[in-house]
Amino acid sequence: MSKTIVRFLILTAIVSLFAVTSLSAEENGFLFRLSRELKAFGWTDEEISSFLFSAETMSWKGLENGDAEMVALSLHYCWQKQIRFQTSELVQLAYHLAVMGMEMEALGFRRRNITKTALRVSAEVAEQLRVRDKADNQNGTGELIRDRIREELCKEGLEEYQEKIMERLTKRVQEGKSSQHRYSGVNK
């Protein structure tokens, strides 16, 4: 009888794990597509797993239609230029780029312009992180990324859209933080 109970418990655990994994993949369709794109760019399974583990601490709700290819290209660009981020910084960069891309697309920007902006933002964020690390400054990575996005939009002559894009970006980031706190059980 005890073997039957053990088998039943093991089967239940396997089915539950499969259900949670399937639910997670559905909820995080963007992350699934991003991991496929990163794999295509030559990221190892270990690097992707580390990224996804760190990404699970954030709420990606609302980014299901984000441009995973553009984000992966931007992250790969940093890798090609031997720009090293901590995993948590890569996750924040990916999140902000996905939101920026969706907001710019909603305003009618072409994919090419969005991708160019994302590549420049990635390079500038990396440089600012290097400077910050040398100065031992601990300003938030998210704020640094948003500042670089704001500056890049100005360089592109998109000042008229800057306020709208940044307002939407900030709103999404705040929504993500509140979802993250609910998810982790942390109250602020």
HSE-CB of 130 using CA atoms within 13 angstroms = 10
pLDDT of residue 141 exceeding 70: no
Greater pLDDT, 181 or 159: 159
Q: What residues does each domain of the chain span?
A: 29-184
Average per-residue pLDDT for the chain: 74
Q: How confident is the model at residue 143 (pLDDT cuts 50, 70, 90)?
A: confident
Residue 97: per-residue pLDDT: 92
Does the predicted TM-score (pTM) go above 0.85? Answer: no
Q: Looking up tokens 């396997």, which residue turns up?
A: 14
Q: What is the DSSP string of 39-77?
A: HHTT--HHHHHHHHHHHTTS--TT-TTS-HHHHHHHHHH
pLDDT, one tens digit per residue, over 1-36 is 566 554 544 544 454 444 344 335 445 699 999 999
